[in-house]
Amino acid sequence: MKKSQLSFKWLDAFLLTARTGSVQDAADEAGLSISTVSHHLRSLEDATGVQLFDHSRRPMRLTPAGAVFRRDIDEAMRLIRKAKIEVQSSGLSETQSLSLAIVEDFDSEIAPELARILTASMPRCRFQHLTRPSHEILELLRVGDIDIGIATQPQFGPDDLIEYPLLRDPFVMAVPATLDVPSEDYLNGRHSLPLLRYSSNQIMAQQIEQQLRRLRLKLPNRFEFESNLTIMNMVAEGDGWTITTPTNYIRARRFQRQINLVPFPGKGFARYLSVFTTEPYAGSVTETVTETLRHLLQTRAIDPTIERLHWLGELFRLLPVGPRGSD
């Protein structure tokens, strides 16, 4: 190997491209340009002196040397991130205050454990922990009422906030378990059961409506609800069906036996959740919140859900680490 330091950006680009098999897909998920990802990959291959990808194949495939490199780098990056959390946590004890808002999707499984971990790491800290819809969290950040927010990425921007990508949460369909109806029949209006929509002021609801318009689907708008649990309760009772995400399904634990989660027909789409700040707020605090959330989401949400619903596979996953907007 040539004498050169390996950049974490190179390694992240390598791992993401190895998983997706596409520079385009890797760039989309990382929030970078195709040329930036390609530059990172070329720099890594130059530094190692080894061809890591067979660039002539579509999707791109790892060379035998690349497969070995990925195995070792996966483990090395896991250990580095673990050490990073431990080091950062040891320097958090002097933090005096933290105001954090988190989407309602995490209020039952993730938020309580996050609060316990942060209070243990910052014993002198005065906490304010809010639960809000994503659009309200972004506004609270802009007016300076909170330090850190965990929310759904809006369609455009936000250019005025620093963003740490967190989770890909795919849109799926939740239908009554008692009915054996093809998912296409719900979507195309061939079944009388109504679509239960999320409130139109929610970012997630707006993304769903945009997708329905792209597909030229016009479904009656009879029901809108702010509460995810209300929607899931009605689906469980056979009163309707909905377009939702795995994180919302996870929240509705007591209704899961009465609900079938099925793939969205045709081309899939997803929402993306991130950690947002207005400035590099207490870097160690923001990064510790982000890394702790990533660990909790992987172990408490992603792994157990995919174990039950194998078809979710790579659809429901963590996003590459690091702030967006600087490249």
327: in domain: no
Do 77 and 100 have their domain in common? no
| Helices (H) then strands (E): counts for the chain | 12, 13
326: in domain: no
Q: How many domains, in total, are found in the chain?
A: 3
pLDDT for the residue numbered 3: 43
Do 103 and 125 have their domain in common? yes
153: in domain: yes
pLDDT for the residue numbered 91: 52
pLDDT for the residue numbered 19: 83
Query: Among 25, 57, 88, where does a domain finish?
Result: 88
Do 185 and 248 have their domain in common? yes
Do 104 and 150 have their domain in common? yes
For residues 194-199, average pLDDT: 96
The better pLDDT of the pair 323, 50 is held by: 50
Whole-number mean pLDDT of the chain? 86
pLDDT for the residue numbered 8: 80
Q: What is the spatial distance between Cα 299 and Cα 226, in angstroms, rounded to a whole number?
A: 28
147: in domain: yes
Do 257 and 177 have their domain in common? yes
Do 242 and 122 have their domain in common? no
Q: Which of 42-46, 54-58, 311-315 has the lowest mean pLDDT?
A: 54-58
Q: At 55, which CATH number?
A: 1.10.10.10
324: in domain: no
Confidence of residue 327 (pLDDT cuts 50, 70, 90): very low
Amino acid at 166: L
The better pLDDT of the pair 317, 74 is held by: 317
Model's pTM, two decimal places? Answer: 0.70
**Cα end-to-end distance, the chain, whole Å:** 27
Q: For residue 102, is pLDDT > 70? A: yes
Beta bridge pairs of residue 197: 224
C-alpha distances in Å from residue 114, one per residue of 45, 78, 102, 216: 38, 20, 10, 41
For residues 67-78, average pLDDT: 84
Query: Among 88, 120, 148, where does a domain finish?
Result: 88
1: in domain: no
Q: What is the spatial distance between Cα 194 and Cα 143, in angstroms, rounded to a whole number?
A: 39
Do 226 and 155 have their domain in common? no
SS3 218: coil
Query: Among 64, 88, 112, where does a domain finish?
Result: 88
For residues 304-325, average pLDDT: 86
pLDDT in tens, 41-50: 999 999 888 8
Do 54 and 202 have their domain in common? no
The answer to whether residues 175 and 141 touch, using CB atoms and an 8 Å cutoff, is: no
Q: At 178, which CATH number?
A: 3.40.190.10
Do 84 and 17 have their domain in common? yes
247: in domain: yes
H or E element at residue 111: helix 111-121
141: in domain: yes
For residues 209-217, average pLDDT: 93
pLDDT in tens, 147-158: 899 999 987 767
pLDDT for the residue numbered 93: 61
pLDDT for the residue numbered 1: 44
Q: For residue 86, is pLDDT > 70? A: no
Do 24 and 82 have their domain in common? yes
Do 195 and 247 have their domain in common? yes
Domain housing 145: 96-170+270-318
Q: For residue 323, is pLDDT > 70? A: no
Do 135 and 275 have their domain in common? yes
